[in-house]
Amino acid sequence: MQYVAVSALSHPGLLRERNEDSLVVGPWTLCATVTESPQTLVFPLGTPLVVAVADGLGGHPGGDVASALVARRIASIGLALDSEEAVRAVLYACNRAVYQAAGEGQESELAAMGTTVAGVVVQPDSLLVFNVGDSRVYAASRDGLRQVSVDDSPPLAPGQRTTSLVTQCLGGTPAYRAVRPHVTATSLTPGDRYLICTDGLTDPLTTDVLEELVREHDDGRAAYELWKAAIAAGGPDNITLAVVRVSDD
């Protein structure tokens, strides 16, 4: 019997007062929570399974509200995410919902709240990858770790490795702004592994470090070692990640 194993955790890091990240694994969500050991969930491979992270915009009031809203909405509709069109539709709906919750066009402490989102929908023979913003999805294979999401970030200056700026997200501005989600379909085979994470992991750690830790450890241990490495590098932001593996064992 084929199944999907997901090992995930979410932590505020060392410098943030609270965790504004949220996590979706199938019908399960983790919002504004602190975990220091990975939680592993196993699902039969069959109906669509969504695994995603949402990173509330730092420096904006309500980042945790926006990320939780998006995570819960995606979880509630996850079984219907069976096509690229369905994924785009839910991301459009999430964007509208964030603006509505913020009180579009009104004076509100949540007026510019927003969040990124990135994730996958696992289906029996294919995988849908999606994102808006700079949270990421990586594919792990024998050839290494390869980013399969698309960063919505301005071009980096020479010598610059990361930036905290995003060119689009869900919400994030006082007046409504439409989004253009990145959604792609790819084939799926047993043994495939994916890393889904917020920039609290990718900003302090290079891709080489991520690749080494994913390659050297199984799923739950890899999630823990990735988190530990980000903390050792200063833990400058909230850290949320999920390691997804498809197996026929």
Q: What is the mean pLDDT of residues 59-64?
A: 81
Residue 158 lies in a domain: no
Determine, yes or no, domain membership for 45. Answer: yes
- The DSSP secondary-structure symbol of 154 reads P
Q: How many structural domains is the chain composed of? A: 1
Q: Transcribe 78-117 into DSSP letters.
A: GGG--SHHHHHHHHHHHHHHHHHHHTTTS--TTTT-EEEE
d(CA 11, CA 20): 9
Q: Maximum Cα–Cα distance for the chain, whole Å?
A: 55
Q: How far apart are CA 236 and CA 245, in angstroms?
A: 28
In a domain, 51, yes or no: yes
pLDDT in tens, 206-242: 999 999 999 999 999 999 999 999 999 999 999 999 9
Global confidence as pTM: 0.95
Position of tokens 């979410």? 10
Quick one: pLDDT at residue 181? 98
Q: How far is residue 73 from each of residues 43, 101, 125, 205, 212, measured CA to CA in Å?
A: 20, 13, 25, 30, 34
Tracing tokens 């509709």 back to the chain, one arrives at 77
> What does the alpha-carbon distance between residue 131 and residue 88 come to, in Å, rounded to a whole number?
10
The number of helices, as runs of H, and strands, as runs of E, in the chain is 5, 13
152-208 pLDDT tens trace: 998 877 767 777 789 999 999 989 999 999 999 999 988 899 999 999 999 999 999
pLDDT of residue 249: 65
Does position 244 have pLDDT exceeding 90, yes or no? yes
**Helical axes 63-77 vs 84-102, angle rounded to 10°:** 140
Which helix (H) or strand (E) segment holds residue 32: the answer is none
Q: Is residue 55 part of a domain?
A: yes
Q: How is residue 3 written in tokens?
A: 């199944």
Condensed to tens digits (0 to 9), the pLDDT of residues 29-50 reads 999 888 889 999 999 999 999 9
- Per-residue model confidence (pLDDT) at position 155: 83
> What CATH number is associated with residue 191?
3.60.40.10
pLDDT digits (tens, 9 = 90+) for 82-127: 999 999 999 999 999 999 999 865 557 788 899 999 999 999 989 9
Tell me whether residue 14 is exposed, middle or buried, using C-beta atoms within 10 angstroms of its C-beta: 0 to 12, 13 to 18, 19 or more. Answer: middle
Distance of CA 172 to the CA centre of its chain: 17
Q: Which domain holds residue 74?
A: 3-153+163-247
131, amino acid identity = N
